Amino acid sequence: MYQLPTLPYKYDALEPQIDENTMRIHHTKHHQKYIDNLNNALKSTKYPETTVGLLLNLIKKTSDLDTRLRNVLNFNAGSHYNHTMYWHCMSSEPAHKEMMRPLHDQIGKDFGDMNQLREKFLGECMGILGIGWQWLCYNSTDKKLVLYTTYQQDNPLIMKDNLFPILACDLWEHAYYLKFNANKKDFLDGWYELINWENVSVFYDMVVDGKIVDFMHDGKVNLFESAQK
């Protein structure tokens, strides 16, 4: 059974960019609901208990899944992974804003500089029609960082065989609507300041090393086990 991960900070820790009420509802209601639905859907399958990233791989590789069940599993396992990564991608602690050298250099190569990454990432976020997620991924084929958008609760690990996410931004309205209403741009400008570059740097090192960023049942990062194949 998957469990709601404990947040690595308090509900009000990301104020003023993200208000306490939004964080509390997002975590205890939305994320919890996805986990409950995932646990329920898994009862009719024979999947072993595993980390959520490996579960996404298993779902992708199961060719004879009933279409409706596949959709339910994709949606809820994707949601669980997406939100767990999202929580890990934010922090208000100045100590977590430091980007490590390998990620810094790769961003320079693939985007030019930090400002261009910010502009392109937020541009993609603004371009999402309806609800979805914006990702920074590592492309294991050409060994580059790329921006990638998914809709609903799709996850790059489900959609692609060679894209491995290291940064996630939730563009569902429940992520910002209580405070920002329809003003997505203001939410995004604040959200970008919250990025936990220290964690994203660790995630980058993992995916370059042939692993996927994966999470244990309690939401902690699984640093050792999940290979990309």
The footprint of Mn ion (CB under 5 A) covers 170, 172
User: For residues 171 and 184, is the Cβ–Cβ distance under 8 A?
Assistant: yes
If the CB atoms of residues 23 and 213 are measured against Mn ion, the closer one turns out to be 23
Least distance between Mn ion and beta carbon 25 (Å): 10
Which stretches of the chain are DSSP H helices? 20-25, 32-42, 52-61, 67-88, 101-111, 114-127, 156-159, 177-180, 184-193, 197-208
Q: What's the token pair of residue 48?
A: 């072993």
If the CB atoms of residues 9 and 106 are measured against Mn ion, the closer one turns out to be 9
Least distance between Mn ion and beta carbon 83 (Å): 6
If the CB atoms of residues 103 and 168 are measured against Mn ion, the closer one turns out to be 168
User: Which residue minimizes CB distance to Mn ion?
Assistant: 170
If the CB atoms of residues 81 and 197 are measured against Mn ion, the closer one turns out to be 81
In 3D space, the residue among 56, 83, 75, 80 whose CA is nearest the CA of residue 169 turns out to be 83
Least distance between Mn ion and beta carbon 138 (Å): 23
Name residue, tokens 């604040």. Answer: 190
Least distance between Mn ion and beta carbon 79 (Å): 7
- Give me the helix-helix angle, 114-127 and 101-111, nearest 10°: 70
